[in-house]
Structure 1
Amino acid sequence: MRKYAFFVVARVFGIKTVVHLHGGEFDLFYRERSNSIQKMMIRDILSHADFFVALSNQWQLKLHKMCASANVVTIYNPIIVPKQISKQRAANLLIFLGNVSESKGTFDLIRAMPDVIKLNPSVQLKIGGTGEIETARQLAVDLKVDAHVEFLGWVVGEDKERLLNSATLLLLPSYNEGLPMSILEAMAHGLPVIASDVGGIPEALACCVADCIVKPGDVIDLANKINHLLADDALRGQIARKLQQTVAEKFDVEVVANELTQLYNRLLEVQ
């Protein structure tokens, strides 16, 4: 809504516009949280923007459902591949990086821990992020898994690098997503991922769907997949190599920068 005024001014003066959508709950906002006037404004932007950039093909389909005439293109989020990647990882170290909330699947992750601990008594879950930390902490206490769960607060810089280089798995069982950077960061660091099939995640993890994708809210399958990957070092290594290859082909910053350059060149050529 805030950007609509700028969009209208641009149209009045004949300025070309590119809208880049990142919000993981934008379709929910459109369907359930917007009144008729707001929906009209959204459709107006969709129908008149020169390009509307989505983070995945799934999001492209969602946007076309809102406005069939929208000129939507898919350009993935970029990631800078680290120059050095650790090959020595801690055993049974799970990490979560993101907002601590129900919508990000943090509570489902804690609910899965009892079944994970049964087969992996030394497992540790480190949760990096802000949000509903006290609620999550209390849930861990109620489920008697608090000795296995650590809340780190917001993690950045060298602390994040150490986590990505030392963890066994990154977990993100979200209910809504665009294309989360934590997954791309994990992939670039050779860290296997288990995440839900929302937003651009299935496209990012297309090479290992059977082992790495869960349905939002399916705590049993989440626990089973964690246990399966923790038990199989060779499979984790195979997945890590596939994910690194995917990053190089689709998400490397130079690949995405080239796609954006091509988009702007196309826009400048249209007179």
Structure 2
Amino acid sequence: MHHKRSLLFWGELPPNIYHGISLSNKRILSILSKKFYIYKVKDNAGFGSKISKSCSFITSLFKIIYFSFNKPNIYYSNLPMSTFGLYKTLITIKVVKLVSPKTKIVTHLHRGDFLEFINIKTQKKLIKKSLDIINTIIVLSDKSAFELIKSGLIEPMKITVIPNSIDVLTSPSNINVNRSITQNESYLYCLCNYIPTKRIHCLVDIINKSIFTNTKFNGDKTNIEYMNSLINKDIHSFCYFGGVIDGKEKERKLNTATALVLPSLNEGMPLVILESLAQGTPVICFNIGFISDYLGADYPGLVNDLTDDAMQKKIKWLQSLSSNEYQKLRTLSFNLFWGKYSHENIKNKILHEFEAITLLK
């Protein structure tokens, strides 16, 4: 029926679920749609009660079975670092292979805590079972590939490195890289969902106890209890807590910020870092996951000591820069993205790798 090769995808997608992985899924599927006919099955089982999660997964599983009868060339999903998520992924892989044995299995590892995750015996067994079946696992960096090889759980030839990228609505020539650190209405910016593991509360404490600078936040606000705790911590009212933001408005806020500040200690490679670099806005974040693979180990905004005190010192360092020093940092950040991680740079690699997967024996 379809002249293109076909691909069956199961995973999280916006607008139902809005975070770095779902945005990456959307972008990659958009690229692949140029060469593949895409069957999409959305995974909406990440939130809610155990019963609602189970029902949602069962619904997804029936859809996966239905589309598998079309004999897709590739089954593509993410490789989660959670026990429940791994069980679901393994079940879907086995079901697809049962219905369509020739379908190639591709998983995508976004997280940066793989070695830590497999320290637990049951989780290591689940990972091993999944990796034994798949044909290719996509990772975000050379460091991630090295960790997989070091684990001994997968053949190196199954690993493919595809760096993250983003779509930028504003053309590079129209992005204002020349901004002064002393401009009126200057502010720090934090863009991530309001959940405790992102440690937004730690940044709010730093701002109110020592930095005393206007700081804007945007993200999903569904965790009401956590939102209330953040408001209570903002004793000097330096912080503005906004909701989900996207498109041109997000790019504008990133571009006009003094810096993007991420206080999380549990990341692989957040897309928002690339979004900030694309706008020429410096990033301050902890040196965790694969971030240094992208920024470079000597990127000035990296915080190597994983403490709030070190984060506070790095923000004060930024504030101490002269206008000339700050402008050099913005130019460095801008050139880093557009020289290595722009959409055009990554698009051809994605198409090449997925087409090569269909040719595997």
TM-score bracket relative to the smaller structure: 0.7 to 0.9
Aligned equivalents of 2:127, 2:255: Cα separation in 1:
41
Give the Å deviation of 1:24.
5.1
Quick one: which amino acid aligns to residue 115 of structure 1?
A: S
Name which of structure 1's ranges 81-90 and 163-172 shifts more when overlaid on structure 2.
81-90
Quick one: which amino acid aligns to residue 313 of structure 2?
A: N
Quote the residue 1:213 is aligned against.
302
> 2:163 matched to 1:76?
yes
Quote the residue 2:51 is aligned against.
none
Aligned equivalents of 1:236, 1:103: Cα separation in 2:
30
Q: Larger relative CO (CA 8 A, sep 6+): 1 or 2? A: 1
Contact 2:251 2:275 in 1 (8 A): no
Please list the CA deviations of residues 199-249 of structure 1 after superposition, one character each: whole Å capped at 9, or x if unmatched.
22112221743x211147411221111111122132222222222222123
Instruction: Give 5+ residue unaligned stretches, structure 1.
Output: 118-122
> 2:204 matched to 1:110?
yes
> 2:99 matched to 1:9?
no
Quote the residue 1:120 is aligned against.
none
**1:178 equivalent among 257, 268, 273:** 268
Quote the residue 1:96 is aligned against.
190
Two-structure CA RMSD over aligned residues (Å): 2.4
Runs of 4+ displaced beyond 6 Å: none
Three-state SS of the structure 2 residue aligned to 1:137 is: helix
Quote the residue 2:234 is aligned against.
140
Three-state SS of the structure 2 residue aligned to 1:154 is: coil
> 2:283 matched to 1:193?
yes
Give the Å deviation of 1:28.
4.9
> 2:256 matched to 1:161?
no
Quick one: which amino acid aligns to residue 98 of structure 1?
A: C
Give the Å deviation of 1:93.
0.6
Are residues 237 and 46 of structure 1, via their aligned partners in 2, closer, same or farther at CA, if it must alter by over 3 Å? farther
Quick one: which amino acid aligns to residue 2 of structure 1?
A: K
Quote the residue 2:146 is aligned against.
61
TM-score after normalising by structure 1: 0.84
**1:47 equivalent among 132, 141, 153:** 132
Three-state SS of the structure 1 residue aligned to 2:166 is: coil
Give the Å deviation of 1:108.
2.2
Are residues 47 and 249 of structure 1, via their aligned partners in 2, closer, same or farther at CA, if it must alter by over 3 Å? farther
Quote the residue 2:327 is aligned against.
237
Quote the residue 1:203 is aligned against.
293
Quick one: which amino acid aligns to residue 21 of structure 1?
A: L
Contact 1:174 1:198 in 2 (8 A): no
Give the Å deviation of 1:31.
3.7
- The number of residue pairs the alignment matches comes to 258
Contact 2:112 2:144 in 1 (8 A): no
Are residues 207 and 28 of structure 1, via their aligned partners in 2, closer, same or farther at CA, if it must alter by over 3 Å? closer
Quote the residue 2:59 is aligned against.
none
Are residues 126 and 248 of structure 1, via their aligned partners in 2, closer, same or farther at CA, if it must alter by over 3 Å? same
Quick one: which amino acid aligns to residue 48 of structure 1?
A: I
Give the Å deviation of 1:68.
4.3
Instruction: Give 5+ residue unaligned stretches, structure 2.
Output: 1-86
Aligned equivalents of 2:305, 2:113: Cα separation in 1:
14
Give the Å deviation of 1:128.
1.0
Quote the residue 2:360 is aligned against.
270
Please list the CA deviations of residues 120-170 of structure 1 after superposition, one character each: whole Å capped at 9, or x if unmatched.
xxx2011111342222222222xxxx3211111222234312211211110
Aligned equivalents of 1:153, 1:45: Cα separation in 2:
36
Aligned equivalents of 1:182, 1:149: Cα separation in 2:
19
Contact 1:108 1:217 in 2 (8 A): no
Three-state SS of the structure 2 residue aligned to 1:177 is: coil
Of structures 1 and 2, the larger Rg is shown by 2
Contact 2:114 2:147 in 1 (8 A): no
Aligned equivalents of 1:137, 1:65: Cα separation in 2:
44
Three-state SS of the structure 2 residue aligned to 1:8 is: helix
Three-state SS of the structure 1 residue aligned to 2:104 is: coil
| Identity level (%) | 25
Aligned equivalents of 2:331, 2:298: Cα separation in 1:
11
Give the Å deviation of 1:25.
5.1
Three-state SS of the structure 1 residue aligned to 2:255 is: helix
Quick one: which amino acid aligns to residue 112 of structure 1?
A: I
Quote the residue 1:85 is aligned against.
175
TM-score after normalising by structure 2: 0.65
Are residues 27 and 58 of structure 1, via their aligned partners in 2, closer, same or farther at CA, if it must alter by over 3 Å? same
